[in-house]
Amino acid sequence: MTRRLVVGRLLALDEAKSLETVHVRIAAAAASVAPRTVWRWLAIARESGRAEPARRLSFTVTDALWACLSDLGGNVKALHDWMREHPHEAPPSPASNTLPSLTTLYRAVQEEQRAGRVLEISRPAHARRDPDRYDRALAELALPGTVDETGRITLPLPSELTPAVAETGPAATRPSPFANGARLHVPGAHTVSTRQLGAVAEALVHTVAARGILCVYGDPGHGKTIALHQALRLLPRRVPTHVALVAVKPALPQLRAALLTAFGLPAAHLTNRTDAADRALLDALAPPGVLVIDDVQRVAAPELDYLRLLADAPTTHTSLVLCGAGAERTLARAPALASRVLTWQHVPRLDASQVPGVLRLFHPLWDTATEEDLLHTDQAHARGNFRTWAKITSHAYAARSRDPDTAVDHALLTWACSRLGPNP
């Protein structure tokens, strides 16, 4: 029972001249406090004429200060310095009509964050870089793999949207937005721009422009994640990319935490606060961008429907990319989300005609191999699976490292394939 209700009833009895000690004892038991506490409440109420004491004035962060804090990268100390330098623009503390202390400002910001208010920053201020300045420094260093023979930068520039992708050479070496990309099992290997990669890039660009949902699916080892990595690198730098790493069959709080982490939001504070977390995610999904969920086959149907609710919000302008082996079968169990997928992009295995050319671009080890040996190995073992070819390359490279005189021929390929196990 609240203090206001208890004191209000006692004041009414006191005004009627019928207040007794037994009334105070009963009210104290109902409010779970001592009788002396109720007597103190009653004395304060008699002096002030209020059932509750006036609340102490506290400092609150205004919208203008919150926007300034966002511009400062969430640095509360920097905001306090700004308030000291601009006393006429910063609101004073209501209690003392002076500039609030740094401790008071920290407490006010923490109360706003606990209430679900989110700073509109995706990363700390010290991590921001000027893309043009970075590209100029890259060209001046002229590191191997970053510029071509004429000194031109080989990384995609912000103004480039999606250049034509063909089987002409290794893809650009711009860092992947994924934290744990697919591994290449041999030193000196390159990511090859195949026409499968070009199809994924085209589908991604169209989906981002339409602010829709893309599903990239295919069998394991066909290069879905690699193709998605490269396609994301071809997007303009102004399009932010967020990658959610989901666990196996995550519950809704785990999925929500993965999405919050992908946007750089405080997952530990918001995961179990449904309303605040949902508001924070909707605010994060409002600007144009890309949210990628790899291995989406791990997510069950109820959690997929939560993604559908986020994507359906009228304020959402971030494109959703769902990728994984068997992703089409997973989405079939969530028909509401599947019906909203704009583009279904299948990543097939390598055609037999592609194998020799792609492998020679993938690693110089295959420059001396005959086309007949490569095609025979692909038909007998790899079957167009690029992950299997990466393993074969690793074993062949190791054998050549032990004995440089070893020829890359049918015998070496047969030995390398013998190490792939019963199910290559």
Token reading at 223: 């290069």
User: What residues form DSSP beta bridges with 292?
Assistant: 243, 321
User: What residues form DSSP beta bridges with 218?
Assistant: 325
Residue 104 has a CB neighbour count (10 Å cut-off) of 16
Q: Alpha-carbon distance 253 to 273, whole Å?
A: 9
Q: What would the mean pLDDT of 324-353 be, rounded to a whole number?
A: 91
In sequence order, the 6+-apart residues with CB closer than 8 A to the CB of 134 are none
Question: pLDDT, tens digit, for every residue of 246-281?
Answer: 888 888 888 988 999 999 888 777 766 778 888 889
Question: pLDDT, tens digit, for every residue of 82-114?
Answer: 888 887 776 665 555 678 888 888 888 888 777
Q: Alpha-carbon distance 178 to 373, whole Å?
A: 35
Q: Which CATH number fits domain 160-346: 3.40.50.300, 3.90.740.10, 3.30.830.10, 3.40.50.620?
A: 3.40.50.300
> Position of tokens 């602010």?
211
- Of the candidates 382, 259, 240, the one whose C-alpha atom is nearest the C-alpha of residue 318 is 240
Question: pLDDT, tens digit, for every residue of 205-214?
Answer: 999 989 999 9
**What does the pLDDT read at residue 83?**
87
- Of the candidates 252, 310, 255, the one whose C-alpha atom is nearest the C-alpha of residue 285 is 310
Q: Please say whether the beta carbons of 210 and 288 come within 8 A.
A: no
- What global pTM score does this model have? 0.57
Q: Alpha-carbon distance 211 to 159, whole Å?
A: 19
Q: Where are the domains of the chain?
A: 3-48, 63-114, 130-157, 160-346, 355-417
Q: Alpha-carbon distance 112 to 132, whole Å?
A: 36
Residue 244 has a CB neighbour count (10 Å cut-off) of 21
Q: Which helix (H) or strand (E) holds 218?
A: strand 213-218
Question: pLDDT, tens digit, for every residue of 15-69?
Answer: 888 888 888 888 888 777 888 888 888 888 888 776 666 555 567 788 888 888 8
Point out the least confidently predicted range of 15-29, 134-148, 149-163, 189-203.
149-163
